[in-house]
Structure 1
Amino acid sequence: MKIIVNKYEKKDINEMKNIWNEVVRDGNAFPQIEELTEVSAANFFDEQSFCGVAKDSESNIIVGLYILHPNNVGRCGHISNASFAVSSSVRGYGVGEILVKHCIEQARKLGFKILQFNAVVKSNTAALKLYKKLGFIQLGIIPNGFLLPNGTYEDIIPHYISL
């Protein structure tokens, strides 16, 4: 599998929506509860500063994506935020790392100075390991900051990296 990442195109929306919704249904990474429809997905992805789509260049199948946008406005508008979704069929094959590295470069190109993740769920050990490997700094722990599908709460660990 050879992964290439490019800016999303309108024709990618349905596959992007399906991968995004898979992560939403898993219920252990994204804060969203509602799944995207094709219409809401088109609006959601279009609102971002950048959306990167990872494709297997051999099959031309989308295997992951990320969204990049400002984390805040005004005096904090130089801080970006991103979310990553990888198809369960390819998790553990390095797609997430490729997406995060691409995102860091895009954030720099867009003039952001910091990339911050507000809510990395403590049980998301693959993400925590990757962010450490890539040099992200943990900011502490927010106890019970994430509602799991079973009604219990999990700690979240904000991270950042200077760009």
Structure 2
Amino acid sequence: MRIREFTESDWAQVWPIVEDVVTAGETFPYDPAWPAEVAYDVWVERPPGRTVVADDDGRVLGTAKMGTNRPGPGAHVATASFMVAAGARGRGVGRALTEYALDWARRRGYAAMQFNAVVETNEAAVELYRRLGFAVIGTVPEAFAHPRLGRVGLHVMHRPL
């Protein structure tokens, strides 16, 4: 598996991943009614941000987007988001994408990385981020409407670079 820059032709494989994750409604605060065009505009970062895919011999296993968390006085903090295909979960794809994003941010001189909305019941992601040095610095209670569990919290997670 290699992490490489997203190309327009990747959207045919990335869109089903995005659609599956968003439709499940358990980990991303995106609207499941979005058509592919809207999802593309939200997911694909424009420079100086970056969107990448985890590619296994032409098959996209996951995707990530990264960029500046906030403009102006907050521009020294990066952010990133990750989605992994259902059949590729538990195989290190999410970890590889997260490590790539951390390295990307470090090389660009960001001082930290912050995740603004990690669903607290997404235990695999929370644990991965903790293992990679992130800490939960706050939780917005009942900020996410989980389809099975009702309203759950959204963690803000942070790590210095």
- What is the TM-score of this pair, normalised by structure 2? 0.90
Gaps of 5+ in 1: none
- State the secondary structure of the residue aligned to 2:65: strand
Query: Is the CA contact (8 Å cut-off) linking 2:45 and 2:67 kept in structure 1?
Result: no
For 1:42-61, what aligned pairs fall within 5 Å after superposition?
Answer: 42-44=40-42, 45-47=44-46, 49-57=49-57, 60-61=58-59
Displacement after TM superposition at 1:50 (Å): 0.4
Q: What is aligned with 1:81?
A: 79
- State the secondary structure of the residue aligned to 2:28: coil
In structure 2, the CA distance between the partners of 1:46 and 1:100, relative to structure 1 (3 Å rule), is closer
Displacement after TM superposition at 1:35 (Å): 5.1
In structure 2, the CA distance between the partners of 1:147 and 1:41, relative to structure 1 (3 Å rule), is closer
Displacement after TM superposition at 1:151 (Å): 8.2
Q: Which runs of 4+ in 1 moved over 6 A?
A: none
Q: Distance in 1 between matches of 2:120 and 2:40?
A: 30
The answer to whether residue 95 in structure 2 is matched with residue 65 in structure 1 is no
In structure 2, the CA distance between the partners of 1:72 and 1:100, relative to structure 1 (3 Å rule), is same
Q: Distance in 2 between matches of 1:98 and 1:16?
A: 17
Q: Distance in 1 between matches of 2:94 and 2:152?
A: 22
Query: Is the CA contact (8 Å cut-off) linking 2:65 and 2:81 kept in structure 1?
Result: yes
Q: Distance in 1 between matches of 2:26 and 2:11?
A: 23
Query: Is the CA contact (8 Å cut-off) linking 2:22 and 2:30 kept in structure 1?
Result: yes
Displacement after TM superposition at 1:37 (Å): 3.8
Task: Tell me which amino acid in the other structure corresponds to 2:109.
Answer: G
Q: What is aligned with 1:97?
A: 95
Q: Distance in 2 between matches of 1:16 and 1:43?
A: 13
Q: Distance in 2 between matches of 1:17 and 1:61?
A: 13
Percent identity for Structure 1 against Structure 2: 30
Displacement after TM superposition at 1:43 (Å): 3.3
Moved more, 23-32 or 47-56: 47-56
- What is the TM-score of this pair, normalised by structure 1? 0.89
Q: Distance in 1 between matches of 2:67 and 2:20?
A: 21
Q: Distance in 2 between matches of 1:36 and 1:14?
A: 16
Task: Tell me which amino acid in the other structure corresponds to 1:63.
Answer: L
Q: Distance in 1 between matches of 2:140 and 2:156?
A: 8
